[in-house]
Amino acid sequence: MIPRRRIDIGLQDAADLWHGMRESVTSASGQVREFEAAASALLGGVPVRATASGRDALDLILAGLGIGPGDELVIPAYTLGELVARLRARGLKPVAADVDVDSFCLTPESVARAITPRTRAVVALHTFGAPCDIRGIAAVAARHGVPLIEDCAHAFGARIDGQPAGSVGRAALFSLEVAKPVAAFGGGLLASADAQLLAVAAEQLEMRRHSPWPATRKTLMKCAEEFAVRSPAYALAARMMFREMPSGGFESFYRGLHDRVRPADVAFGGFQARRGLRRLQGLAARNRHLNGLWEQLAASLPRGFVAQQRRRHGDPAAYNFVARHAGDLSRLRRRAQAAGLDLAIHGEILDDVAPMLGQTDCPGAAQVFAEAVAIPLHLGIDEAGLQRIGEILAGVVAP
Ligand SMILES: Cc1ncc(COP(=O)(O)O)c(C=O)c1O
């Protein structure tokens, strides 16, 4: 089975983990500062703080902007569903703006339609690493006098006319989760040049617990997962776990597990910083390599698949390969699994959050959600793997 994700774990990680368990808080903090400086350099010098997760970074940004109960926040209708509960828990009112069906991203027009006099910020996502029209959206936000937050959870290394994604808006969040472009076994980054926002975030980050254990637990869990994914039994397990569950049954359990294993009140640690630094160093080369495979896969898709348009507004970072397919996705997935290809569909990829918010005005997100198929594309796939994927897809869509 060609698995949907591969986690890059090596001997150096084991060494770093061992080191991280024994090092002092001062040494770990020094390592974290070094990682933040390296991330900041890649973002053109925008100050960066490491956080417990991407969600944590968003919470800190909102606190730093003084956004609180009763305030409206424009978010993409096609995004991570968990964000809705998280925002509501802060008393915020998320309002979904529709996405374009080809790029899966917000547009300046859809953002303008969703803004009301109660809007306090706009969150724009570079979906699956593809830059959205962030300049156009920034212009709309500026016209209404609200700050723009860039959700770069998928987009470390993406560029807009040469400018790094995450350096255009007032603030940006990045995720360092396991399958993200810079994977540090959990964690996130907050990037912003707003001194007041940074001061509020720094105050909250100061109060975090220092413990190497949550990241260690998570890494061990990921090692076990990687071992399972590479075993011959994975094909059977995947067929049992990923079945007719439009709401992404197993996948949402999997996502929830991540949060339970790594609580939000724990500071980003020394082990993660070491790992993050190594991932930053190879980021540009990895993005180039995976983007090359991405183009090849897009060109080899059989009729009936429409790959995401990713280069409309800049150079993408490599994250999920997602295409639209208008047929019966459950059947498609079943046939692909039987042929040895682990496709993800519907809520296993991202969510249509408009229905969660009681909105019926986001047909683009509804269509993308209904038709989205994630085709495996990761560092475990070589040219022969790509060819195999093309052959399997051609076989499963054949009548
Ligand atoms: C669109 C989007 N925003 C934010 C996040 C939050 O990142 P994290 O899982 O690190 O909290 C994710 C995570 O996958 C995401 O997909």
Measured from the CB, is residue 53 less than 6 Å from ligand 1? yes
Burial status of residue 10 (CB atoms within 10 A of its CB: 0-12, 13-18, 19 or more): exposed
Measured from the CB, is residue 1 less than 6 Å from ligand 1? no
Give the pLDDT confidence score for residue 242 in this predicted structure. 67
| Range in 207-216, 250-259, 264-273, 378-387 the model is least confident about | 250-259
CA of 388 to the centre of ligand 1 (A): 30
Domain extent, residue 100, equals 1-399
- What atom of ligand 1 comes closest to residue 57's alpha carbon? 11
Mutate to test the pocket of ligand 1, among 99, 152, 177 (most ligand atoms within 8 A of CB): 177
Measured from the CB, is residue 80 less than 6 Å from ligand 1? yes
Structure confidence by residue, pLDDT tens digits, 293-331 = 999 999 999 999 999 999 999 999 999 999 999 989 999
Distance CA 42, CA 281 (A): 10
Measured from the CB, is residue 86 less than 6 Å from ligand 1? no
Q: How many structural domains are present in the chain?
A: 1
Q: Among positive and negative, which fits the CA dihedral 69, 72, 73, 77?
A: positive
User: Which pTM does this prediction carry?
Assistant: 0.95
CA of 175 to the centre of ligand 1 (A): 6
With bands split at pLDDT 50, 70 and 90, how would you rate the model's confidence at 131?
very high
Measured from the CB, is residue 55 less than 6 Å from ligand 1? yes
Three-class DSSP category at 214: helix
Write the CATH number for 165.
3.40.640.10
- What atom of ligand 1 comes closest to residue 180's alpha carbon? 14
Q: Across the chain, what does the average pLDDT equal?
A: 92
Structure confidence by residue, pLDDT tens digits, 216-260 = 888 888 888 878 877 877 777 776 776 665 445 666 666 676 666
In what order do the strands lie in the sheet containing 188-192? 48-51, 188-192, 171-175, 148-151, 119-125, 72-76, 93-97
- What atom of ligand 1 comes closest to residue 76's alpha carbon? 1
CA of 97 to the centre of ligand 1 (A): 18
Which residue owns the Cα nearest ligand 1 atom 12? 153
Contact predicate 17/185, CB 8 Å: no
Distance CA 375, CA 388 (A): 12
